[in-house]
A and B are shown apart, each in its own frame.
Chain A
């Protein structure tokens, strides 16, 4: 009896090994957690084929969603794509693994302007993936003249034709900018002024939206919308009447970067993957698909000239002199939340 059981056991093991592992050797895996619609999916499949590594790919909608999930533990991701302020916070909380750049030689293609940035001053933890700004997308057939300021969002002429971002940090940030302050302001008086301005603006706002903004602007539902630069590229491809600009008061300059969380089970595969994403051809395919600005010098060269020479999407340093990168607010996020709740409950 024991013998029969033993044979059955061995049989069961070999069958499951065959089913799971293909040819018996344990197949390598990689768990990636990225923003929704933020990679050319064929790139993932090519990576799987080239290195025989299975990629498990999940997506998130906000930095905070991602942070909560990683912080709570129990998830086994090997590669994450947080934004600047969130990277800083995760570094400070010891949640990220230092990268071994000897294993990521393609890092040399990343432009010098994207190294030693505030959130990772010694370039130890992150590799920039995409960058961009926040600006105004407007419909040329509905807006008169050439707008250049955040103030147009407070223009009564466009009542009920304005779409705001349903994001506390961004909406309060651009209001602070409109008033001439820093978008990381701590000053209660400045924040109070921003709150008043947002309350004053509320009757003019058609809706506070996030992802729906693209459909609405393309179909001409609204005249003006606050959008991230990559969304603007997408909308302009679909509707020629749309224009995009970074207001002269300055804006939010942001970076999303690739990192490896502490406790990653597949660090070697993760570094291989990061290096792969930094290959010129791959970086180009992603940049072309996503539409945001790429920090990869090789990819930028391959992209169409009319895109990379457009200062709205690839702004020059002087276009960004008033712009700032978000700083992690920590417990002050509560003040922002309070302002936002007061605005929304009007």
Chain B
């Protein structure tokens, strides 16, 4: 394909802000500084990542992100399905309401959960008024998962909604004409056609969920070192940029594999994702 001139600023941008930083990351992850101050090639940082304590952190990040993604899917699919219903009134307003929270600062919304969940927070105060004992809502798996589901849910709803609302309605009518009941139609027609949306929703929730470090710090009370916290620590506290880069490179590989998986599903399909 022939490149045209409008692409040049983009290429320039890509080189400066993507290729150069990525190369630096790769360079740091593969080198080490000897006692004499010389820089040499080394695999040691990657080796270190595969030690049990870091694998444990990785596993926990994947698990929490996986659970959150599952909840997002369970909650998000029906929501998208309702939104995509052709008979729904005020559809645009409802979609807007879904997107609206995303306009507000992410940190602010997470802090709001603190106020709700605290021991002397809103929920416990209400429970106290009706004579129930206070609950420990904050600083546990529940709070972290809740924070992730809350923050990432729109990323699940929107792609599924966009695919569902584009499904050719005559296919559904055809299924009904051939005697399929609604459940059967859904299983055999609607759901398979919505899969590209589901897959891209899963990717869009899972990836930020794996690397989040703010939610785990605020709602998990810093008790949950996730992979994002680990990377942040290496760069800011320890000053071990080599190891930090190595973790980032591993995470990028995981994400690339995920993307490869996604693109296989999306081949030939149209408009599944938001990218």
Contacts and interface: CB of A to CB of B under 8 A. Distances in A.
Interface of A: 62, 64-65, 67-68, 160, 166, 168, 202, 205-209, 212, 219-221, 333-334, 336-338, 340-342, 344-345
A342 B217 contact: no
A327 to B, nearest CB: 16
A64 B234 CA distance: 11
Most buried by A among B139, B218, B221, B224: B221
A64 B239 contact: yes
Interface of B: 53-54, 56-57, 60, 114, 118-120, 136, 138-139, 217-218, 221-225, 229-230, 233-240
Given A206-B221, A344-B224, A337 B240 contact: yes
Given A337-B233, A345-B56, A345-B57, A209 B221 contact: yes
Nearest to B234: A337
B57 A207 contact: no
Contacts of A62: 236-237
B222 A344 contact: yes
A221 B120 contact: yes
Contacts of A206: 139, 221
A40 to B, nearest CB: 26
A219 B120 contact: yes
Contact of B53 (A67, A160, A208, A341): A341
Contacts of B240: 333-334, 337
Contacts of B233: 168, 337, 340-341
29 contacts: A62-B236, A62-B237, A64-B236, A64-B237, A68-B236, A68-B239, A166-B217, A168-B233, A202-B223, A207-B138, A207-B222, A208-B222, A209-B221, A212-B218, A221-B118, A221-B120, A333-B238, A337-B237, A337-B240, A341-B53, A341-B57, A341-B225, A342-B53, A344-B222, A344-B223, A345-B53, A345-B56, A345-B57, A345-B60
Contacts of B239: 64, 67-68, 333
B137 to A, nearest CB: 12
B221 A208 contact: yes
Contacts of A345: 53, 56-57, 60, 225
A344 B225 contact: yes
A209 B222 CA distance: 7
Which 3 A-B residue pairs are closest in the complex by CB-CB distance?
A: A207-B221, A208-B222, A344-B225
A285 to B, nearest CB: 31
Contacts of B114: 212
Given A333-B238, A341-B57, A345-B57, A221 B119 contact: yes
Given A219-B120, A344-B223, A334 B57 contact: no
Contacts of A220: 120
A207 B230 contact: no
Contacts of B229: 344
Contacts of B120: 219-221
A323 B60 CA distance: 38
B238 A334 contact: yes
A336 B238 CA distance: 9
Contacts of A202: 223
Contacts of A344: 222-225, 229
Contact of A341 (B139, B221, B230): B230
Given A160-B136, A221-B120, A342-B53, A208 B236 contact: no
Given A166-B217, A168-B237, A207 B223 contact: yes
Given A220-B120, A345-B57, A166 B222 contact: yes
Nearest to B138: A207
Given A333-B240, A344-B222, 15 more contacts: A62-B236, A64-B239, A68-B236, A160-B136, A207-B221, A207-B222, A212-B218, A221-B118, A334-B240, A336-B238, A337-B237, A338-B53, A341-B54, A342-B53, A345-B60
B100 to A, nearest CB: 27
B194 to A, nearest CB: 38
Nearest to A336: B238
B110 to A, nearest CB: 12
A62 B239 CA distance: 12
A95 B233 CA distance: 23
Nearest to B58: A345
Contacts of B223: 202, 205, 207-208, 344
Contacts of A338: 53
A220 B118 CA distance: 10
Nearest to A160: B136
A278 B214 CA distance: 38
B37 to A, nearest CB: 13
A80 to B, nearest CB: 17
Contact of B139 (A207, A333, A334): A207
B238 A337 contact: yes
Contacts of A168: 233, 237
A344 B217 CA distance: 11
Contacts of A67: 239
A3 to B, nearest CB: 36
A207 B120 CA distance: 15
Contacts of A333: 237-240
Contacts of B235: 68
A207 to B, nearest CB: 3
